[in-house]
């Protein structure tokens, strides 16, 4: 009687067995690479510290820029501009003009500050109340505080300001948006600088890890030759060095996160104290989960890339004699 083999029944077992063997080999290799790092604690710690500090610099600057951006976004009144009216206009004329401007679709709100209100506020703020009481007449004009709507672009804001400036009732238009635009332009420059710095520091990390892997390969040259002599492939021999690069990247990235979080912790108290002096509240924004994952991912990628390139380059030069 012929014996038949049920291939469908044993295929899943084979697949599971192959995966288990692959997983066991990589687990053993990764633990072995971590054990080699632990046997050289000082040298490994120095490399991890260098990687961590190198990654923490752009991450910390990025967090600072993000906090500055969040603070600048709260300066909504900085987008306002003041319209000072001619002296011969009455309060009724100023109110009519405010109602007319308020009807525009590109205007969010218009506030009227009468000359008497402005003088009273100036007396309180300046401390020259007694001297100002000696004035025969109020030298201040009526003023409108105009806030454009959020849908305006830079070009539409410029056009709006020109139209307001050309009104016959206008004496002077004071624009408060230029310094905010300059501030945001500076932040954009800093972001570009961060991007360039990340690339340069990434290259530095690749060079550092690459040199460490190269020295490790040279120190284990005889072991590699014996392993190749018994039939091991370059991929098999390269595996421990890839895991070494992985651990360097992972631990260096984790240390970078620790440095950034500790720096933010140190900043919370002085920032809160500064905000209290201005009767405000400023919350220091920390790294998000996505940003933290990106730092770890970049560090691991750089470690794997550096170790793979270095190992692939030097592995071909080592052959059994």
Please report the DSSP string for 75-94 in residue order. -GGGG-EEEEEPTT--HHHH
86 φ, ψ (degrees, to nearest 5): -70, 155
Q: At what angle do helices 41-73 and 7-39 cross, to 10 degrees?
A: 100
Residue 283: how many CA atoms within 13 Å on its side-chain side? 5
Do 198 and 55 belong together in one domain?
A: yes
Range of the domain at 263: 32-74+182-315
298 touches 253 (CB < 8 A)? yes
Do 197 and 143 belong together in one domain?
A: no
Give the integer Cα–Cα distance in Å for 140 and 171: 12
Query: Can you give the pLDDT at residue 11?
Result: 46
Do 223 and 102 belong together in one domain?
A: no
Instruction: Please name which of 297, 311, 145 lies closest in space to residue 244, comparing C-alpha atoms.
Output: 311
- Look at residue 16 and tell me if it is in a domain: no
Give the integer Cα–Cα distance in Å for 82 and 88: 18
Do 254 and 116 belong together in one domain?
A: no
The pTM of this model reads: 0.62
Tokens (6 digits) for 193:
């600088």
Question: Tokens 């651990």 appear where?
Answer: 247
Query: Can you give the pLDDT at residue 231?
Result: 75
- Look at residue 24 and tell me if it is in a domain: no
Question: Tokens 């804001």 appear where?
Answer: 157
| Number of structural domains found in the chain | 2
Query: Can you give the pLDDT at residue 179?
Result: 67
Do 193 and 47 belong together in one domain?
A: yes
Do 154 and 186 belong together in one domain?
A: no
- Look at residue 266 and tell me if it is in a domain: yes
Domain CATH number, residue 123: 3.30.70.3040
Do 307 and 250 belong together in one domain?
A: yes
CA dihedral of 146, 149, 155, 159, whole degrees rounded to 10? -40
Do 119 and 243 belong together in one domain?
A: no
User: Of 154, 175, 196, at which residue does a domain stop?
Assistant: 175
Q: How many residues does the chain have?
A: 321
- Look at residue 234 and tell me if it is in a domain: yes
- Look at residue 20 and tell me if it is in a domain: no
Listed in order, strand segments (DSSP E) in the chain are 81-85, 107-113, 143-148, 170-175
Give the Å distances, CA to CA, from 156 to 9, 152, 179, 229. 72, 6, 18, 75
Do 213 and 297 belong together in one domain?
A: yes
Do 144 and 94 belong together in one domain?
A: yes
- Look at residue 18 and tell me if it is in a domain: no
- Look at residue 273 and tell me if it is in a domain: yes
- Look at residue 14 and tell me if it is in a domain: no
257 touches 320 (CB < 8 A)? no
Do 45 and 91 belong together in one domain?
A: no
User: Of 125, 148, 175, at which residue does a domain stop?
Assistant: 175
Instruction: Please name which of 310, 205, 283, 188 lies closest in space to residue 249, comparing C-alpha atoms.
Output: 205
Question: Tokens 């989960």 appear where?
Answer: 289
Q: What is the pLDDT along the chain (321 residues), one digit of tens a residue?
A: 444 444 444 444 455 677 787 778 778 888 888 888 888 888 889 989 999 998 898 888 888 887 776 665 555 445 678 888 888 888 888 898 889 988 888 888 888 888 888 878 777 766 666 666 666 677 788 898 888 887 777 678 778 888 888 888 888 887 765 666 677 778 788 888 888 888 888 898 999 998 988 888 888 888 877 877 777 777 788 888 899 999 999 999 999 999 988 888 887 777 777 666 555 566 667 788 888 899 999 999 999 999 998 888 877 776 666
238 touches 315 (CB < 8 A)? yes
Give the integer Cα–Cα distance in Å for 202 and 209: 11
Do 157 and 234 belong together in one domain?
A: no
User: Of 156, 175, 194, at which residue does a domain stop?
Assistant: 175
């Amino acid at each position: 009687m012929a014996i038949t083999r049920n291939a469908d029944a044993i295929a899943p077992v084979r697949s599971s067995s192959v995966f288990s063997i692959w997983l066991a080999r990589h687990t053993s290799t990764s633990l072995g690479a971590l054990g080699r790092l632990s046997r050289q604690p000082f040298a490994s710690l120095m490399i991890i510290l260098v990687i961590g500090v190198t990654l923490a610099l752009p991450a910390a600057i990025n967090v600072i820029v993000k906090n500055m951006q969040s603070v600048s976004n709260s300066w909504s009144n900085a987008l306002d501009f003041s319209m000072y009216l001619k002296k011969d206009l009455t309060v009724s004329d100023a109110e009519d003009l405010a109602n007319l401007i308020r009807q525009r679709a590109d205007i969010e709100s218009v506030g009227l500050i009468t000359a008497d209100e402005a003088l009273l506020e100036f007396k309180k703020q300046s401390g020259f109340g007694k001297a100002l009481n000696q004035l025969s007449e109020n030298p201040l004009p009526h003023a409108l505080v105009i806030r454009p709507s959020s849908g305006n672009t830079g070009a539409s804001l410029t056009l709006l300001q020109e139209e307001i400036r050309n009104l016959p009732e206008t004496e002077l238009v004071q624009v408060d948006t230029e310094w905010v635009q300059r501030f945001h332009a500076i932040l954009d420059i800093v972001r570009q600088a961060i991007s360039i710095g990340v690339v340069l520091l990434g290259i530095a990390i690749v060079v550092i890890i690459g040199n460490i892997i190269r020295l490790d390969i040279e120190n284990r040259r005889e072991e590699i030759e014996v392993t190749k002599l018994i039939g091991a492939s370059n991929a098999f021999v390269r595996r421990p060095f890839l895991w070494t690069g992985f651990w360097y990247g992972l631990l260096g990235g984790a240390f970078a996160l620790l440095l950034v979080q500790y720096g933010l912790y140190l900043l919370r108290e002085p920032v809160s104290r500064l905000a209290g002096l201005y009767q405000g509240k400023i919350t220091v924004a920390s790294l998000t989960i996505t940003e933290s994952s990106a730092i770890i991912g970049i560090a691991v990628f750089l470690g794997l890339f550096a170790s793979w390139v270095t190992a692939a380059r030097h592995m071909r030069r080592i052959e059994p004699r």
